[in-house]
């Protein structure tokens, strides 16, 4: 039986694997014949994407190249009137503004007309049609709710793509794997389409202007419950967040509270969307909220500071480089399932230069690589001088400036999961992004230097060694991912400066994790 199945695969260009999904209710029996009539496959049609049939057979689930077979049976699709159907579910922040803007730009670029239909409050249908014939070629079904619902729809086979403002959680990844959707924690199963940030906000009349991440965690947990402890009036703090199923609110718990090992206070005021959250905070002197960078309304953002005089504001460049400590990647999660050709073309478009312009116009931070000269990084250098202690020799700061002065920093950073050597989800996406740029020849005749940094715990020699190993590991990951690159056209090397340029205070586990990073510099 195995030999026969192998023969079928060779003859019909079959691709078998997990992630094809459960059998839909409308599935019907079909028979696929090779064009010379020598081989036939019977089974239940699971789907057709315009190029490939997906069939449940006695040999298991297989995918067959439609160009090599003829289909017979009541379940066979009409090849002349095929319309690609794509389900996208999840974050309202992404689904109401960002993704529709990208889809409209894609349609315009490819010469399609696009229609929008508000089917239900949380369900929007976008139909793409051929301008000459007027016939639909694709329908994108947007279920615009929250990140939790997005992953639930994926598991229920009601979505093909999840929009998420947080990383997938372990239980969600486990359930997806059990459902045959592949390893959604792997690098090729998610991508960062844009960047947002979690920004602590207050009323414009509030006298407080700065907060540390630890203080923010303590406020969210109720350990700090009076503005006087933050330098404000003697009055209680009202905490406002998005609804509990929102990816932004969950990212706050994962990225701010969890590292401090603190629970969220029970009396948090919840809001269904970013606008109502920002309006409520702006109108209440005693409120503190955590909002999306793209939508703080009339509220005022607090600067993130530190006990070591570290200070950074949420700005486009600091978010793009991930120097701002609460950067929030906007993820698309893709199961191990073949999407229709037009959907794959749309996903490729989201990484293009025109798409980055759309992202910026929509109010989010794009992923287009930028080169930042050393003289435009005053805040970073000031923090380095201010924060550096006895453990970071002055000679190392001198070497850093002397080495990096003739170079420019690339707006891509790499950080690691807490307590692990594995890159975090955004950094894994960044590996693929930089690899694509190298393959495209963007950095031909240039030198890429991967520069490692560490936290300030322990002796300088040990920190330097760890930073060197991390820089070399990231460089090798990018080299491996750039499979079609001609490395004779550019140079790649690694260097490290230990704890010489911290981005946060080392007095918290979160701060130490932030400082453990690899940057890319260009010459």
- 471-493: pLDDT as tens digits: 999 999 999 999 999 999 999 99
Q: Round to whole Å and give the CA distance between 499 and 512.
A: 10
Verify that 273 and 387 share a domain, yes or no: no
Task: Check residue 380 and give its pLDDT.
Answer: 66
Cα 401 from Cα 209, distance rounded (Å): 31
Same domain, 250 and 297: yes
Same domain, 407 and 481: yes
Which of 171, 191, 211 is the endpoint of a domain? 191
> Given this model, what pLDDT does residue 426 score?
84
For residue 123, the domain's CATH number is 3.40.190
* Final residue belonging to a domain, choices 320, 355, 383: 320
Considering the domain architecture, whether residues 36 and 162 belong to the same structural domain is answered as no
Q: Is residue 503 part of a domain?
A: yes
The pLDDT, as a whole number, for residue 383 is 62
Strand duo 269-271 + 112-120: pairing: unpaired
pLDDT tens per residue across span 157-189: 899 999 999 989 999 999 999 988 889 988 788
Residue 309 belongs to a domain? yes
In this structure, are 180 and 307 located in the same domain?
no
pLDDT for 459: 84
Residues 379, 459 within the same domain: yes
CA distance 52 to 92: 32
Does residue 340 lie in a domain region? no
Those residues whose C-beta lies under 8 Å from the C-beta of residue 7, and which sit 6 or more positions away, are none
Question: Does 271 map to a domain?
Answer: yes
Q: Domain with 73 in it: what CATH number? A: 2.30.30
> Given this model, what pLDDT does residue 298 score?
95
Q: What is the CATH number of the domain that holds 300?
A: 3.40.190.10
For the chain, which residues score pLDDT lower than 70?
A: 1-27, 307-309, 375-394, 418-420
Find the domain containing 251 and state its range. Answer: 196-320
CATH number at 481 reads 3.30.1330.60
- What is the spatial distance between Cα 213 and Cα 256, in angstroms, rounded to a whole number? 7
Q: The tokens of 371 are what? A: 């080169």
Same domain, yes or no: 380 and 493 = yes
Q: Does 218 lie in the same domain as 99?
A: no
- Residue 154 in domain: yes
Given a contact cutoff of 8 angstroms between Cβ atoms, the answer to whether 384 and 479 are in contact is no
Residue 364 in any domain: the answer is no
Exposed/middle/buried for 506, CB within 10 Å: 0-12, 13-18, 19+?
Answer: buried
The pTM score is: 0.78
Structure confidence at residue 221 (pLDDT): 97
> Per the domain annotation, does 331 fall within a domain?
no
Are residue 181 and residue 205 in the same domain, yes or no?
A: no
| Within-domain flag for 325 | no
In this structure, the answer to whether residues 56 and 91 fall within a common structural domain is: no
Same domain, 400 and 503: yes
The number of distinct structural domains making up the chain is 4
- Regarding whether 155 and 43 lie in a shared domain, the answer is no
The contacts found for 471-478 with CB under 8 angstroms, 24 or more apart, are 471/495, 471/496, 471/518, 473/421, 474/414, 474/423, 474/427, 474/431, 474/450, 474/518, 475/448, 475/450, 477/423, 477/431, 478/431, 478/434, 478/435, 478/438, 478/450
Report the 10 Å Cβ neighbour count for 450: 27
Chosen domain end from 58, 77, 96: 77
């Amino acid at each position: 039986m195995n030999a026969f199945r192998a023969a079928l695969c060779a003859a019909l260009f079959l691709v078998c694997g997990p992630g094809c999904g459960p059998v839909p209710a409308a599935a019907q029996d079909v028979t696929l014949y090779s064009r010379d009539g020598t081989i036939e496959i019977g089974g239940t049609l699971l789907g057709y994407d315009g190029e490939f049939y997906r069939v449940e057979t006695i040999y298991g689930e297989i995918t067959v190249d439609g160009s090599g077979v003829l289909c017979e049976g009541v379940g066979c699709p009409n090849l002349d009137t095929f319309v690609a159907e794509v389900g996208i579910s999840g974050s309202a922040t992404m689904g109401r503004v960002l993704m529709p803007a990208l889809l409209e730009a894609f349609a315009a670029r490819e010469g399609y007309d696009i229609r929008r239909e508000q089917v239900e409050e949380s369900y929007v249908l976008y139909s793409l049609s051929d301008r000459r014939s007027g016939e639909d070629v694709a329908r994108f079904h947007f279920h615009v709710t929250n990140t939790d619902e997005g992953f639930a729809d994926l598991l229920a086979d009601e979505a093909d793509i999840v929009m998420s403002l947080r990383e997938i959680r372990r239980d969600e990844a486990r359930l997806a794997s059990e459902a045959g959707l592949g390893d959604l924690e792997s690098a090729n199963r998610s991508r960062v389409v844009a960047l947002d940030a979690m920004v602590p906000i207050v009323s414009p009349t509030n006298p407080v202007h700065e907060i540390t991440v630890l203080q923010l965690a303590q406020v969210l947990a109720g350990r700090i419950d009076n503005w006087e402890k933050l330098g404000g009036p003697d009055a209680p703090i009202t905490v406002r967040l998005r609804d509990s199923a929102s990816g932004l609110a969950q990212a706050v718990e994962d990225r701010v509270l969890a590292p401090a090992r603190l629970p969220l206070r029970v009396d948090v005021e919840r809001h269904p969307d970013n606008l109502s959250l920002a309006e409520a905070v702006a109108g209440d002197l005693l409120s503190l909220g955590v909002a999306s960078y793209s939508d703080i309304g009339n509220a005022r953002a607090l600067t993130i500071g530190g006990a070591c005089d570290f200070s950074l504001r949420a700005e486009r460049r600091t978010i793009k480089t991930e120097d701002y400590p609460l950067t929030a990647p906007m993820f698309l999660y893709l199961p191990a399932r073949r999407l229709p050709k037009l959907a794959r073309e749309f996903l490729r478009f989201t990484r293009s230069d025109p798409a980055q312009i759309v992202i910026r116009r929509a109010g989010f931070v794009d992923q287009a690589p930028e080169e930042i000269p050393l003289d435009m990084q005053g805040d970073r250098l000031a923090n380095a001088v201010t924060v550096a202690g006895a453990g970071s020799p002055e000679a190392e700061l001198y070497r850093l400036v002397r080495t990096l002065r003739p170079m420019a920093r690339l707006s891509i950073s790499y950080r690691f999961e807490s307590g692990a050597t594995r890159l975090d989800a955004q950094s894994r996406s960044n590996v693929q992004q930089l690899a694509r740029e190298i393959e495209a020849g963007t950095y031909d005749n240039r030198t890429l230097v991967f520069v490692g940094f560490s936290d300030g715990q322990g002796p300088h020699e040990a920190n330097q060694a760890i930073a060197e190993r991390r820089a070399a590991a990231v460089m090798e990951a990018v080299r491996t991912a750039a499979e079609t690159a001609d490395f004779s056209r550019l140079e790649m090397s690694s260097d490290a400066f230990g704890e010489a340029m911290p981005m946060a205070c080392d007095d918290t586990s979160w701060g130490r994790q932030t400082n453990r990073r690899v940057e890319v510099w260009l010459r």
